[in-house]
Amino acid sequence: MLTTLHINNYALIDELNVKFNNGFTIITGETGAGKSILLGGLSLVLGKRADLTQVKNSDNKCIIEAGFDVANYNLKDLFKQLDLDYDNHTIIRREILPSGKSRAFINDTPVTLDNLASLSTHLIDIHSQHQTLQVTQDNYQFTVIDALADNQKNLNTFSHQLTDYKTLQKTIEALKNSKAEMLKEYDYNMFLLKELSEINLKAIDLEDLEIQYEALSNVEVIGEKLSSVKAILNSENSGVTDQINFAKQELSKIAGFGKSYETLKERITSIGIELDDILVELDDLENNLITEPAELERISNTLQVVNSLLQKHAAADVNELIAIKTSLENKIDVTETLDDAIDKHEKALLKQHEVLNSLASKISKKRKTVIPIFISKLETILSDLGMPNAKFKIELTPLNTFVFNGKDTLQFLFTANKGTSFNELKKAASGGELSRIMLAIKSILAEYIQLPSIMFDEIDTGVSGEISNKMGDIMKQMSSKMQVFSITHLPQIAAKGNSHFKVFKTDIDNKTHTNLKQLNTDDRVIEIAQMLGGLNITESAMAHAKQLLN
């Protein structure tokens, strides 16, 4: 419930501080006194967009702060969801800065307007005559019927299950799309994999193959060069070997003349030994040279295949080809296992469908049960409100698909007069009739669920005295279960309030100011007498006012 309201520097209000009680609160005032300003300020607290033109003195900050007792509203989960500190007495504050920027706070925590609006819908409902079209909207009509049917628990479960169902649908669709795409590439991937599998890539050393290929391709050249080197080393008289031997003999003759000569002789001897070894190895290599056309062809073919694969797959080396082969194997495995995954998810979807159908059936059954009860209550109240011939027909039609709240469509059909056919509520009811229908519906809802505080803004416009008296009774009855405000011009309603506030204007220093004050018993008598007979209060008006208050 709304407990306090503080307004500073807003429109025609310099500063306003007011406390509200539970029950039925009346707000009255002459036309133009500023009741709309009061509602405008409260609307800012509830998340309405701010406008710098609403600030009274644009050099100063505008502050609007409202306190709410939320102990009975079960809002702890919502506060947690919005990442806010919960307090049974919650303070909402809006600030409009001279720059035109605005800020919002819930319990001193900065919040966005979206978060503010998410909370405020649970705190207070400002209901004016032009908002009665809400009752013609499908979502609101379902809210009413489901409240009476006590369907909230089933609806919460259904919502969670429907989310899982839609997730499964998306997963299956994604799997089928993946399968379709992979099937387009399956044959080509199989062809590529077959090419890569025909050769043992892991056993290939490309560098070694290339060396072998060069050796086998040049056997004759190698033989010629080996023979030429042997001739150079071993030719009679002019061969390197003979020359080394001669040099060794010459150094032997002087080796005894000094250490240096001995060392040179030993080094020449070592060269001779190394040349002998080289000659032996040259003989071995020459003797082992074999022309192998078949092996050359095999290596040539292998190199050709590998290089072709490297070029085809834009791979840098054999290791990259091996990685590509592994990737192709994985793609083919995934393609071949997608059917199993799709089948598994479709079975889960079918099971989820059965769960949803069962929940939707429970929800629909409870709706069907309460619709006649709701119609009876509604028509009874409307008869008291001067609509004795008002009749409702509420059609609940099953759907073939799931919607957010089950598998039904709902339509409120209405006729206000005998002999006229039923039509959609928004087409069949006038604005005044919709106001009374909305009041009747909210009075019924108050019996079933905890509604937020409600402020009726001149909902009684154009209503006669006797009907307004009944409207006052209904609002008074609603206030036994919730906080109800009524901004009214009718004395019959004003007299029924537990507390009474008056909006009025004053002129100070050629400036107009809007004020709000709570009326005591004597003030209320005068106010209601003026509502009955005008500014010139007569004794009969005073007597009538006292009679209404009593």
Phi, psi (rounded to 5 degrees) for 505? -110, 150
**Coil, helix or strand at residue 514:** strand
The pTM of the whole model exceeds 0.75: no
Residue 167: predicted pLDDT: 96
Q: Token pair of 544, please? A: 């009538």
CB 461 within 8 A of CB 480: no
Q: Please, which contacts does 371-379 make with residues 24 or more away whose CB atoms are closer than 8 Å?
A: 371/145, 371/396, 373/148, 374/144, 374/145, 374/148, 374/444, 377/444, 378/437, 378/440, 378/441, 378/444
pLDDT at 291: 64
Task: Round the average pLDDT of the chain to a whole number and report it.
Answer: 86
Q: Percent of the chain having pLDDT more than 70?
A: 93
* pLDDT, tens digit (0-9, with 9 covering 90-100), for 74-87: 899 999 999 999 99
φ, ψ at 200 (rounded to 5°): -80, 90
Other CB atoms within 10 Å distance of the CB of residue 160: 10
For residue 501, report the phi and psi dihedrals to the nearest 5 degrees: -120, 145
Structure tokens at 409: 């469509």
**pLDDT band at 183, cuts 50/70/90?**
confident
**How would residue 218 be classed by pLDDT, with cut points 50, 70 and 90?**
low
Answer for the pair 79, 86: CB distance below 8 angstroms, yes or no. Answer: yes
Instruction: Tell me the C-alpha distance between 484 and 22, whole Å.
Output: 8
Predicted confidence at residue 181, as pLDDT, reads 80
Q: Answer whether residue 359 shows pLDDT above 90.
A: yes
The average pLDDT across 363-386 equals 95
Is the distance from CB of 186 to CB of 335 less than 8 angstroms? yes
Residue 295 has pLDDT above 70, yes or no: no
pLDDT (mean) for 272-301: 75
Q: How far apart are CA 380 and CA 375, in angstroms?
A: 8
Report residue 463's pLDDT band, with 50, 70 and 90 as the boundaries: confident
CB 296 within 8 A of CB 210: no
Among 274-283, 432-441, 476-485, which stretch is predicted with the lowest mean pLDDT?
274-283
Q: Which band of pLDDT confidence, cut at 50, 70 and 90, is reported for residue 401?
A: very high
The tokens for 506 are: 């004053």
Distance of CA 200 to the CA centre of its chain: 51
